[in-house]
Structures are given as C-alpha cells and as structure tokens.
Amino acid sequence: MGKAEFLTPKAISNRIKAKGLQKLRWYCQMCQKQCRDENGFKCHCMSESHQRQLLLASENPTKFMDYFSDEFKRDFLELLRRRFGTKRVHNNIVYNEYISHREHVHMNSTQWETLTDFTKWLGREGLCKVDETPKGWYIQYIDRDPETIRRQEELARKKKQEMDDEERSAKFIEEQVRRGRDGKETEETPVYTELMRESEEEKVVFNLGATACVAGPSKPSAALGPSALKAAAAPPSVKRKDPPSGSDSKSEKKKKSALEEIIEMEERKRKQTTRTDYWLQPNIVVKVVTKKLGERYHKKKAVVTEVRDRYGAVVKLIDSGDKLKLDQNHLETVIPAPGKRVLILNGPYRDTEALLEGIDEKSFSATLTLDSGHLKGKRVDVAYEDFSKLA
C-alpha cells in the first residue's frame, strides 16, 4: 500500500497521530524511535539499524544506562527548578509534565525502576527534600546555585546591618539618657565650702537665699560669734559644715536605680530575642543519633570542630578519631554531670558559658549558673536541647 498523498484525510490523520504521545511499550530508547502499534515495533526490532544499536549496547551496557540516567535526572531537575522553584509539589505532577514532552528519556532505560525509587534517591543524594504522606511522595527542590546563595547571603548581610544600625541608635539614645540623668543629679547636689576669713576686721557675710545677715567685729552676735571664731581658728582642711548624710544616700539610691533600669532593659532585650532553628557551635560535645552510618557510629560522642552553613558540622569522634560531616538533625546535645562547664546554644542566653548546677527530669530542664557576660553569677533554667557540654 502506497503512502497517503499530501493533505488527504489519511495523511492529516497520520500527522496528528505522530504529534501526540504513543504507548511506552512501543518506544525504542536506543534508537529513539516511537512506533505506532505492535506490528511497527516488531518490524523495527527486526531492522538492521536496531540490531547495530543492540550490538553497541551489549559491549558496554553500564555506559548507556548511566548516560540515560544522567539525562533523565538532569531534565527532571531542570523542569522542577524552572517550573516549581523551591515549592513543595507531588512527584507525580512533575513526572506527568516531564513525559508530556515527546523526546523525553523514558524511565525504563534508567537505573530506577519506579518513580518512588527515583524520588527516594533524590532525597538520599540531598538534591531535594522528600517526604511521604498518605497522598504519596512530595518533593521540594534545594537550590544550590552559587548566584542564589550569594543573593541570599547579601540579603542576610543587609538585614543584619539594618539590625546593627538599630541597635547602635538604641545604645546611643540610652547613653544620652544616662548622661542627662547623671548631669541632672550633679546639678541638684548642693556644694558646701569652708567658712574662712583672712583677718579679724573682714566682715563675714552669710547668703541665706532672699535674706542676708552682716556682722561686724565690734558687735558680735551671741549666736553667730562663737561659731564664726571657731571657723576662723580651725585649720583650712577642716570643713565647717559637712554635707548631710541623707543627700549622699539619696544620690546613691538614684544612681543605683538608673543602673538597675539599664540592667532591666538589657534583660528585656534578651527575653525578646527570638529562637533560631540552628544551634551548632564549635568546641561542644554532641552525640550521633542517625542510623544511616551503621552501628559503628550510632550513639557515639564527638566534638564539633567546624560549623558549615549553620546547619552542618564537621565532627571528630572521641573514641576512634574519625571525622564525619553531618547535619544537625543527625546530632543531639550532651548533658554532663553537675559541676561541669556547658555552652548555651539557643534562647536569650545564647553563646554564654555556664556551670551545670542540677537537673530537673520532670520539666526536662537544668539549672545553670552563668559564667560569662555581664550577668555572670546569675542562675537560670534552660531546656535540655538548648545547651551542651564543652569540649
């Protein structure tokens, strides 16, 4: 039977069928040829070109499978990044959109048998965040592009700079308020001077607000005379009248209340500090809780030698000395015996060293005595996961 002529109904029908997707079982990945029915696929398998491709594949089958697997992974992740970004999406939705392209790499030519196996592999390799739900597997792309990371770091740096400017302005305002209070207290404090005269003939003048009393040597008053003579005869280092003790205690009380107010403001700032979802710090002792590394490392203690990207850390095992790179989800804090030094990792007293005083098992917290900072010596209650033993 000859080929249908151009623009005949049969030719148009054939072109429409050739445009759309056909059945996967009639597709040859090695030759990248889609057959329309079983008879056509059988004829293709008997063709000389197909036999040559099979001979090439039989020489090194792993090479071809790796090539198709890499192509499938690259195209799938590119579609996920471009189409959905970092949103959480069902894996079947992405796969259906991927296979809608006619020239796509079929999964039956890759190392993965099912879409679920491919999804689990993406999670193990750290290319995507995967989680299983009653509705199926969901994936979320992890963008590790250097330009994106640089942009995120720049935004974080700008945000930190704005916060630093706000803290700097707040400190400047507090300093101005403190100076104003100190100056006001200094102005209100009375100043007392010695009552002295160089000669007996000089007049003694008392300034008592609106009234003034003038006394001469020829007519000394009975009340003022003796005290004036005593003051003249006294050595210069002795004051005639000492300041009242109530004034000193009052000024000290005012200064003390101002200091307490500053401490309360700092304490309030600490309490308003929001918790962070990262807690790793260098030179602390942690415990490996993941089972993916085998029983050799499970429940083993290690020292954090380096923190990477806030959520990852390079740890050195205390027993064997092996070095591992782990995520913070695979680690947990270590609670030492009472009297040992610890480091607070989260909360209002973050990055503060302390001494472990006691443990409250009912509330899952411990009593710590701060050993650094301006609040040194203060006792606080901190949850188990917010502090760890110092190396």
Condensed to tens digits (0 to 9), the pLDDT of residues 10-33 reads: 887 777 666 656 666 677 777 777
Domain that includes residue 363, residue range = 279-389
Residue 384 resides in a domain: yes
The domain tally of the chain equals 2
Tokens representing residue 268 in the block: 């309030």
User: In this structure, which amino acid lies at residue 262?
Assistant: I
Tell me whether residue 2 is in a domain: no
Per-residue pLDDT, averaged over 217-238, amounts to: 46
DSSP string, 220-276: --TTTHHHHHHHHHS-TTS-SSPPPHHHHHHHHHHHHHHHHHHHHHHHHHHHHPPP-
The reported pLDDT for the residue numbered 363 is 87
Q: In CATH, what number is assigned to the domain containing residue 25? A: 1.10.10.2030
Interior angle at CA 340, CA 335 and CA 346, nearest 5: 50
Domain boundary among 141, 176, 204: 141
CATH for 314: 2.30.30.30
Instruction: Indicate whether 354 pLDDT > 90.
Output: yes
Predicted pLDDT at 260: 78
Residue after which a domain boundary falls, among 100, 125, 141: 141
Two tokens at 128? 């995507």
Asked if the structure places residue 202 within a domain, the reply is no
Per-residue pLDDT reduced to its tens digit, 97-149: 888 877 788 887 888 889 999 999 999 888 899 999 999 999 999 887 777 77
Tokens encoding 77:
């992740």
**Amino acid at residue number 174:** E
Residue-wise pLDDT for 309-342, tens only, equals 888 999 999 988 889 999 999 999 999 999 999 9
For residues 76-98, give the mean pLDDT.
Answer: 90
Q: Which secondary structure element, helix H or strand E, spans residue 138, and what is its range?
A: strand 136-141
What is the per-residue pLDDT for 229? 45
Residue 54 lies in a domain: yes
Mean pLDDT of 162-174: 79
- Which pLDDT score is estimated for 224? 44
Q: What is the CA radius of gyration of the chain?
A: 42
The answer for residues whose C-beta is within 8 angstroms of residue 340's C-beta and 6 or more apart is: 355, 356, 389, 390
> Can you give the pLDDT at residue 238?
44
d(CA 344, CA 386): 6
Structure tokens belonging to residue 280: 């790793």
